[in-house]
Chain A
Amino acid sequence: MFKRTLPFACFYAAFALGCGGNEKAHHEHEGEHHAAHGGCLNALGTCENGHAEAKLEGDVLMVWFVGGGSDTDKAVRIPDGEITLAVTIGGEKKARTLVLTSKPNELAEEKEGDCSRFEGKADWLRGMTEFVATGRVTFKGKPQDVRIEYPKGYDPD
């Protein structure tokens, strides 16, 4: 009996393993959020609502407001001209203030008051490896708290 069933069992196992490999990879891909600029994604309220992608280059903090879910490569324009962030650096009790101003991109056909990209510059940002920044923006027509946890990102879900 065993002699007869062994080849079938081997064939079935090989077939099942062969089919299962891609299934796993597919599920992993579904849960992935891609940061279009290589920064860290910070959920605005929930991940499905939207994200603030933050990237620090030298003494400039760049923030892009993008969509939720899998739409992290789609810009969400906001009407605010400036965003004030309270930046808390690890070990410091008092938060520092950083003002981000809108940087409309011509190719994206953005303009002042209808822009998804913001930048803030400060000497103390240089060499910073970790911080938490909070603020408030008008996102998708509603006031929305912003929480940026750099560099790992913020995901309340």
Chain B
Amino acid sequence: MRFPTLVLKSLRQHWLSTALAVVSIGLGVALLVAVASLREQTHRNFVQEGLGVDAVLGPKGSPLQITLNALYHLEEMPGKVQWTYYKKVLGDEVVESGIPFITGHSYAGFRVNALDERFFTEFEYLPGRHFSFRPEDGGRGRMFAALDEAVAGAEAARELRIELGQTFNPTCGVNPGDPVHANDAIRFVGVLAPTGTPHDRAIYISLKTFYTLQGHGQDVADMAVNEEHREISGAYLKIRRIRGGAMHPGIQDLKYNVNQSAQAQLVIPNEVLPRLFSIIGWVDRVLLGIALLVTALALLFLFVALVSALRERRRDLALLRCLGATRRTVFGLVLCESLFISTLGALLGLAVGHGIVALASDYIRVETGLQFTSAYVTQADLYVLPAVLVLGAVAGLLPSVQAYRLGVLRNLTPIS
């Protein structure tokens, strides 16, 4: 009988413990792979891509709250910024351009943000990438032009089944029970092509539309024409580049100066978001720890399963030796069983792990608009198979040595 056949037959003989060992290793590896993938993709989405915004001018309050509100359409803006102050910031030598916005309205669970129409042409949702209405990209219609017109992000349009020409009444607030602008019907004239960013999960109207909503009253309506009284929630700022494409170093002086004012602050998302990860970093370390522990326990289980199987199979192995198998053969047999179980467990874990990421990606996309993919390959994917193989070999070493030392005569004596 060939050696691989011998290994397979032996595994089939104690199939239950083999299957349990494979499943337990698989679960540990799956957890490890899924946590590593979700962790890295979250980090990439929040930190490396920065959603194309160099800086956000916002009111006084938590910089994290401002970033989450301006870029991820979460939380609420802690206040307002005077238009005149925004214009002063715009005049600074390091600021290339700005796109003012107003947040705080919603419709059917999606944020309704008012902003300058240059958002659709100049804003880079990812470095070098602009919004599109082109049908070939997945968009429809056009940007808003009249006061009663709106544009929907791809995800908002998909979930709300928005058709062009359909109208809606925005809610004055983002919380359940907030009043609805019953007399302000706004018509959808465009749907943006999917971007894979949180901007897909919002609805956009013009600043002037916001100021002139009937429900806002005359004071707010005056802001449409009177710049002295005009207020905004904030502005996306584009900073001038220096040689090599790096941001102008003067942004730090600008940030210092703006932050000394009584009404505004400058938030640099790429500085704020890593801080978020340093705060919540322990969560993924705990998850990784649990995953490692599960994998270690699974390998311990493999060790116990091999040792107990060896006890049951002493007579079989002794018989095998009588039939001509060398000590090396029985040593290799037990070790190969361990390696086979480990490999199968690792492969199962990789498949299940990526399956978990696929399920989670869908959920995360619906909830946040962030694009995750099950095809993302992390370092854990690359190292998990060799690592589990090494650990499997270690787990199988002691039972293999025991098999090697097995006394043939002692184990062939009649039991009764």
Q: Is the contact region of chain B dominated by helix, strand, or loop, or is it mixed?
A: helix
The A contact surface, by secondary structure, is loop
| Partner-contacting stretch, out of B120-128, B189-197, B258-266, B366-374 | B258-266
Q: Does B88 lie at the interface of the complex (its beta carbon under 8 Å from any beta carbon of A)?
A: yes
A75 at the interface (CB under 8 A from B): yes
A74 engages B260 (CB within 8 Å) = yes
B256 and A37 contacting across the interface, CB-CB below 8 Å = yes
Interface centre among A37, A109, A110 (most CB of B within 10 A): A109
Complex interface bits, B251-274 against A, C-beta within 8 A gives 1, otherwise 0: 011101111111100000000000
Query: Which chain A residues border B31 with CB–CB below 8 Å?
Result: none
Whether the Cβ atoms of B261 and A108 lie closer than 8 Å is yes
Verify if B92 is at the interface (C-beta below 8 Å from A).
yes
Answer whether residue A122 sits at the interface, using C-beta atoms and an 8 A cutoff.
no
A138 in the interface, Cβ–Cβ < 8 Å?
Answer: no
Q: What is the CB-to-nearest-CB distance from A127 to chain B, in angstroms, rounded to a whole number?
A: 23
Q: Which B residues are in CB contact (< 8 Å) with A107?
A: 88-89, 92, 254, 257-258, 260-261
Q: Which of A63-106 contact B (CB under 8 A)?
A: 73-75, 105-106
Q: Inside 8 A of B258's CB, which chain A residues have their CB? A: 107-108
CB distance from A40 to the nearest CB of B (A): 16
Instruction: Tell me if A116 is interfacial: C-beta within 8 Å of chain B.
Output: yes
Please give, as numbers and ranges, the residues of chain B lying within 8 Å of A116 by CB-CB distance. Answer: 260
Contact B259 A73 (CB under 8 A): yes
Contact A109 B260 (CB under 8 A): yes
Within A100-128, the residues touching B (CB, 8 Å) are 105-110, 116
Q: Please report the C-alpha to C-alpha distance between residue A109 and residue B84 in the assembled complex, in whole angstroms.
A: 12
Q: Which of A37, A38, A110 is B260 in contact with, Cβ under 8 Å? A: A110
When distances are taken between beta carbons in the complex, the residues of chain A under 8 Å from B252 are: 36-38
Q: What string of 1s and 0s marks CB contacts (under 8 Å) between A39-77 and chain B?
A: 000000000000000000000000000000000011100
**Residues on B with beta carbons closer than 8 Å to the beta carbon of A110:** 260
Interface string of B331-368 (1 = CB under 8 A from A): 00000000000000000000000000000000000000
> B387 to chain A: closest CB distance in Å?
14
CB distance from B261 to the nearest CB of A (A): 5
Q: Is the CB of B260 within 8 A of A75?
A: yes
Q: Which residue of B has the minimal Cβ distance to A73?
A: B256
A106, B260: Cβ atoms closer than 8 Å: no
Task: Give the distance in Å from the alpha carbon of A74 to the alpha carbon of B379 in the complex.
Answer: 41
User: Chain A residues near B92 (CB, 8 Å)?
Assistant: 107
In the complex, A107→B259 CA distance in Å?
9
Given contacts A36-B252, A37-B253, contact A105 B260 (CB under 8 A): yes
Contact at A108–B257, with CB atoms within 8 Å? Answer: yes
A residues in contact with B254, CB < 8 Å? 107
Bound: A83/B89 CA distance, A: 29
Minimal Cβ-Cβ distance residue in A for B249: A38
Determine the distance from Cα of A107 to Cα of B416 in the docked complex, in whole angstroms: 97
Residues of chain A within 8 A of B263, CB atoms compared = 109
Of residues 20 through 40 on chain A, the ones whose CB sits less than 8 Å from some CB of chain B are 36-38
Q: In the docked arrangement, what's the CA distance between A110 and B92, Å?
A: 16
- Complex CA–CA separation, A56 to B253 (angstroms): 15
Residues 221-262 of B, flagged 1 when their CB comes within 8 A of A and 0 if not, give 000000000000000000000000000000011101111111
Could you list which residues of chain B lie within 8 angstroms of chain A, going by C-beta atoms?
88-89, 92, 252-254, 256-263
Closest 8 CB pairs of A and B: A108-B260, A107-B257, A75-B260, A108-B257, A109-B261, A36-B256, A105-B257, A107-B258
Interface pairs (19), CB distance under 8 Å: A36-B256, A37-B252, A37-B253, A73-B256, A75-B256, A75-B260, A105-B257, A106-B88, A107-B92, A107-B254, A107-B260, A108-B256, A108-B257, A108-B258, A108-B260, A109-B260, A109-B261, A109-B262, A110-B260
